[in-house]
Amino acid sequence: MLETEALKSLYEKHCKHGFQYIYGTAGFRYKADVLDTVMFTTGVLAGLRSLYLNGQTVGVMVTASHNPPEDNGVKIVEPRGEMLEQSWEKYATELANCASQSYSSFETKLQELVVTLKVDTKKSGGIVVARDSRESGPHLVSAFKAGAQVLPTVKIIDYGILTTPQLHFLTSKTNELPEGAEIGEQLYYQELLSAWDQVTDLCGIKSLPFHLQIDAANGIGGPKVMEMLSQSDFFSGAYEVVNADWQTYAALNHLCGADFVKTNQKLPHGISSSGNQAANQISCSFDGDADRIVFYYCDAMGHFRLLDGDKMATLFAKFFQDLLHQAGLQDAIEMVAVQTAYANGSSTHHLEKVLGATVKCTSTGVKHLHHEAVKSDIGIYFEANGHGTVIFSTKFVDTVNQRLAASTQDISKSHKALQLLKLFTKLINQTVGDAISDMLAVLAVLSILNWTPQKWDQEYTDLPNRLLKVSVPDRTLFKTTNAERQLVSPAGLQQKIDVLVSKFDKARSFVRASGTEDAVRVYAEAASRAQADSLASMVGTIVENS
């Protein structure tokens, strides 16, 4: 660790006083102009985490995802590509807030962490870092690197601008592959495209059955998805990317992107309803850092039809359930779908009653869903906003490989199902929700099933719902229980919500503090669009007045 004078000099250059930080569901996320201090301390903490894990490389992503351009944030990624170990979120918050108070407070907390965690600061470690396309990114990465310098034995690799899932992927590969292996974003493209080619060859798919439009939210997903698809002859002429102006900072997530489409339930800027009415047309939207995706089309009447995270979860559940039966693994492999309270009630009913799948509900935030999903052999998790993935256990991989080895010469339906199960473990980025990887996986499933967007949509009908964002003076006052479906604070507010819900058909509503913004989110669902809108508005009003 640096000598006191050098440490103090870096601290004084990068840290400001007077701001309180919280490591939320997606790390630290605030207006960019208050992030210098927390970027510095995150550099320190990421180095400590690497040393604590005996030198394994950890990842750091500087992003604010779907938030407005003036926001930014940072999160730490575990060596296998997962979110930061939850017990360390407290350390990240404490170190940042001590630095926000004074140098002596910061130094004391740092020394305390080193002792408490028994970190050998003389060992070697590693950090890989990347950022999204926000204007504040370069400055904040500099503050982060200054913090990492506090531990000189920790080596930093800066990958520049990446999507969040690419950073998770490269973090995992850095720890998985032998030293000296060539690791970079090209490895990401090669792995996904190789899996795609093998899936399409196995299933005799020569071309996409529909034209694809990609709304890239004017974020970094635009150039990255174009870079990848340009390397594949299969996709030549089969797609177009709109809202790909990632270098105009103010355009990021503006009137476009997954959050805009999901929240407003309408087409983004740049995509018209006319082309989306055709059976051979499907569109999708990424968010700013390309870790979320939603699909959509327009029906024959020109009405917008959303295919969100719930629809993706049910699509994958049906597909993998069918493959397991074809492979004779339905009794050997456990498949679970993990949802949050935001999941549409119809999707949960379809999973449980029509598909017969096991469904678990967790608190909002992919870290909670991921933690639950890894307990199963196939864990399918998607938030309704389109953030999610599918996770396959070691037992699953071993079982599939063993069955394949025993049926090498077999050309039966069972053998093909086993091959597809294995290939989808490569096509899907299991480290985190990934708009590009999820896009390919959905396109592959629809192509294999020979489904149009309309056929996918008709599997079940969503209950109309509305999601509102209500600004409040202090979001921390809103505390929940029962996987965030019930309020325990402010006192009496849940009872008022229950009274309103009882006035509508097939209704439910809940309120929770945002994990990424200074706001409270209100979700309402009912039998008709008018009822859902009315319920959301009424609940929003009582929240505002609480």
Mapping DSSP to helix (H, G, I), strand (E, B) and coil, where does residue 77 land? strand
Residue 307 corresponds to which tokens in the numbers above? 């295919």
Judge whether 9 is annotated as a binding position. Answer: no
Judge whether 385 is annotated as a binding position. Answer: yes
Residue 2 φ/ψ, nearest 5 degrees = -60, 155
Burial class from Cβ neighbours inside 10 Å (0-12, 13-18, 19+) for residue 284 reads buried
Judge whether 102 is annotated as a binding position. Answer: no
Judge whether 515 is annotated as a binding position. Answer: yes
Alpha carbon distance 265, 465 (integer Å): 10
Is the Cβ–Cβ distance between 30 and 93 less than 8 Å?
no
Judge whether 527 is annotated as a binding position. Answer: no
Judge whether 459 is annotated as a binding position. Answer: no
Catalytic choice (9, 50, 65, 104): 65
| Amino acid, res. 175 | N
Judge whether 512 is annotated as a binding position. Answer: yes
Read out DSSP for 141-156?
A: HHHHHHHHTTSTTEEE
Task: Residue 17: count other Cβ atoms within 10 Å of its Cβ.
Answer: 10
Alpha carbon distance 252, 539 (integer Å): 30
Judge whether 174 is annotated as a binding position. Answer: no
Mapping DSSP to helix (H, G, I), strand (E, B) and coil, where does residue 115 land? helix
Judge whether 291 is annotated as a binding position. Answer: yes
Is the Cβ–Cβ distance between 14 and 143 less than 8 Å?
yes
For strands 388-392 and 378-382, give the pairing: antiparallel
The answer to whether the Cα torsion of 290, 295, 296, 297 is positive or negative is positive
Respond yes or no: is residue 65 known to be catalytic: yes
Alpha carbon distance 512, 341 (integer Å): 10
Using alpha carbons, select from 385, 520, 389, 397 the residue that is nearest to residue 465: 385
Is the Cβ–Cβ distance between 516 and 29 less than 8 Å?
yes
- On the question of a cis peptide bond just before residue 79, with omega within 30 degrees of 0, the verdict is no
CA terminus-to-terminus distance, the chain: 49
Alpha carbon distance 312, 290 (integer Å): 16
Judge whether 383 is annotated as a binding position. Answer: yes
Alpha carbon distance 456, 446 (integer Å): 8
Is the Cβ–Cβ distance between 183 and 170 less than 8 Å?
yes
Judge whether 287 is annotated as a binding position. Answer: yes
Beta strands in 322-401 (DSSP E): 335-340, 358-362, 378-382, 388-392
Is the Cβ–Cβ distance between 253 and 166 less than 8 Å?
no
Is the Cβ–Cβ distance between 304 and 265 less than 8 Å?
yes
* Residues annotated in a binding site for substrate: 383-385, 512-516, 521
* Residues annotated in a binding site for Mg(2+): 65, 287, 289, 291
* Residues annotated in a binding site: 65, 287, 289, 291, 383-385, 512-516, 521
List residues with catalytic annotation: 65
